[in-house]
Amino acid sequence: MVAGARTFSLEETFLSPQILNPPPTRHALLAFLLALTAVLHIGTAGWGDLYDGDESQVAAAAREMVQSQQWMFSTNNGVPLAQTPPVARWTVAASCKIFGGNATAARLPAAFAMFGLVALTFLIGERLAGYWHGFGAGLILLCSGGAFLLGRIVGPGAIFAFFITGAIYCLVRGYQHRKFRRIWFGLFWVGASLACLTKGLVALPYLAAICGLLAVFLREARLRFRPLFHWANLLLFLAIVAPWFLWAHRQFPGAVAWFPPNSTLPRWQLSLLHLVWWFPAVFLVLPGFVLRPRKILRPNEFSVAEILPLSWLLAGLFFAVIPSKDLTAALAAAPAFALLAATAWARISRTFRALGIACMLIVGCTLAAIPLWYSAIFSVTDSVWLSVRPLAQIALVSLLVFGVVAVVLVRQRGEITLVLALAVMVPVGWCLIEGRARVAPFFSLADAARYLNPRLGRNGEVILEGPLKRGNSLAFYLEKKFFFVNQTPGPQEKDAASQNKYLDEHFVLEAWDRSDPIYLIIEEDRVAHWRRLITDRVHIYHQVSTCGSRVILTNQM
C-alpha cells in the first residue's frame, strides 16, 4: 500500500510563510489577543460621556440621521454640516438604531474597528515573520496609549485605520500568492474605496505611497504589483467611490470635504504626540534604535518583512503631520510601528531590553506623578481634579510592579518579557479611560442635558452662548433642538430654518420676561455680563446648575 503525500510548489515553499496547518499555540495566542481587545474596548464602550468637538459632531449627526431617516444629509442640531464622507456616520447611525441613542452605541463602531485592527495586525505580522511576531505586534498595538485614547474617539479615525490595514493585508496576500493574486488585489481596492468613503481621498495617496516605496526597494514588488493596476480594479474603485462624491458635489457645491480638515495643533506638537500614542513600546525599543540601529534595520537583508513596516510608517507620519495635520490619522500608522517594534524587540539583546524597560519606567512614572505633584504643589481643591489622583496612584504602582518584574525576568524568552512589560498598560489604560470619563464635565455638556431634559416640557427652550463645536455634545444628549446667542451662521447655513437658530441678546431678554421656561448656558467668565443685563431688564435671574466651566441660567423660580 502506497501512502499519498502532497507535493508543494516552488512558490508555496519559498514565498508563502507557512505551508503546514498552524499549531494550537497560534490559535491560543490569537484568541487571547482578541479576548483582551474585546475587554479593553468593547467592554468599556460605555465609560464616560462624549466630548464636544468632532466626536459629538459625528455622534449627533448620526443620531439625527436615525430620527429624520435622511441617510445622505448631515445635520447637527438641525444645522447643515460640510458634507464629509459618510461611512463613519452610517456605522454610528446603524449602531444607534440597533442599541439606542447613547454613548455606548456611538462608541461601538470604533470599538469593533479596533478589534479588527488588532486582528489584522496579528495576521500581517504572521504573514511576514510568523505567528509569534504577529502576536507581539498585535499586543504592542493594543497596549499603547493611542489605542486607549485615539481608539475610543467616535469618528472616522479607527474605522479609517481598519480599512487601510485591511487593504495592506490584502496587498501582502497578493504579493505572496500568485494563484489568488487578482482576487487579493481586487480586495485591496475595496479596502481603499471604503477608506476614501470614511475619511476622504487622502487614502489614495496614502496607499500609493506605501506601494511606491515597496516598488522602489523591492524588484519583486515591481513585478508582482502589475496586476494591482488592472483596469477592472480601477473600475471597481471608481464604482464604489465616485457615486457619493459626485452626488454630494452636485447637491452641495463647495461644501464637500474631499480631504480631512486640518488640526489646529502645530506640527511639532503632533510629532511629539506620537511618543504618547506609541507609549510604552516606543521607549522599550528606543535604546536599540539609538545604540544598535544596524542590528535592527539590516540594509543588506531587505525583504517585504523589512520594507513594509518602514514604508507604511513613513507614509503614515507624512500624511498625519505634513499635508493635512490630521490628529486621528496617527492611528492608521500604529500597526506599522507595532510591526517594526516587534521586529526590534526580537533582535536586540537582553541588555538593551533591560534599558528599554528602564526608559519606560522613567517616562511612565514621570507622567503618572504629574497629577500628584501638581495637586500637592498648588494645593488643588477641585473635586474633579482630586478624583483623578487615585487613578494616577494606581497607574504609578502598576508601572513599578510590572516594570520591576519584567526587569527581573529579562533573561527569559523575549516574548515573555514583552508581555510583562506591556501588561502595565492594562491597568494604566483603564485609568486613562476612567480619567477621561471623570473630567468629561469640562469638555462635554452631557450633564447639562440630563439636568435640562426633564425640565423643558413642551414650551421650554435652551440657548447656548458659544459656537456649535463648543456645545455639540448638547445636540447628542438634549432631547430638543437649541438656539445660539452672540454667534453668526456658518457659510453652509443659508436656509431660513438654520439662520433662525441664531439670536441676539435683545431677543433673549425679551423672551426671558415671558412665562415659558428659558435656559441659557454660558461660560463662567460671562456670568457678570449676563447678570447685569438680566437684572437691569427683567429682574429675574437664577443660576441653577453648573457643568464644568459652564453655568446654566433660567427665568424660572
Handedness of CA 374, 378, 379, 385 (dihedral sign): negative
Does 11 have pLDDT greater than 60?
Answer: no
Amino acid at 31: A
Handedness of CA 467, 472, 478, 479 (dihedral sign): positive
Q: Burial level of 361, CB count in 10 A (0-12/13-18/19+)?
A: buried
Confidence (pTM): 0.91
Does 435 have pLDDT greater than 70?
Answer: yes
- pLDDT bucket at 188, cuts 50 / 70 / 90: very high
Report DSSP state, residue 463.
E
What pairs with residue 554 in β-bridges?
519, 542
Strand 461-465 relative to strand 518-523, pairing: parallel
- Predicted confidence (pLDDT) per residue in 462-472, tens digit: 999 988 888 88
Lowest-confidence segment of 102-111, 144-153, 382-391, 526-535 by average pLDDT: 382-391
- Predicted confidence (pLDDT) per residue in 211-244, tens digit: 999 999 888 888 899 999 999 999 999 999 999 8
Does 279 have pLDDT greater than 70?
Answer: yes
What is the spatial distance between Cα 317 and Cα 319, in angstroms, rounded to a whole number? 6
The contacts of residue 269 (CB under 8 Å, 6+ apart) are none
What percent of the chain has a predicted confidence (pLDDT) above 90? Answer: 40
> What would the mean pLDDT of 462-491 be, rounded to a whole number?
86
> What would the mean pLDDT of 353-374 be, rounded to a whole number?
85
Lowest-confidence segment of 150-159, 322-331, 480-489 by average pLDDT: 322-331
What is the spatial distance between Cα 236 and Cα 199, in angstroms, rounded to a whole number? 19
- Predicted confidence (pLDDT) per residue in 15-47, tens digit: 445 545 677 888 999 999 999 999 999 999 989
Report DSSP state, residue 470.
G
- pLDDT bucket at 180, cuts 50 / 70 / 90: confident
> What would the mean pLDDT of 415-434 be, rounded to a whole number?
90
Does 181 have pLDDT greater than 80?
Answer: yes
Lowest-confidence segment of 72-86, 212-226, 254-268 by average pLDDT: 254-268
- Check whether the bond before 22 is cis (ω within 30° of 0): no
What is the spatial distance between Cα 483 and Cα 373, in angstroms, rounded to a whole number? 42
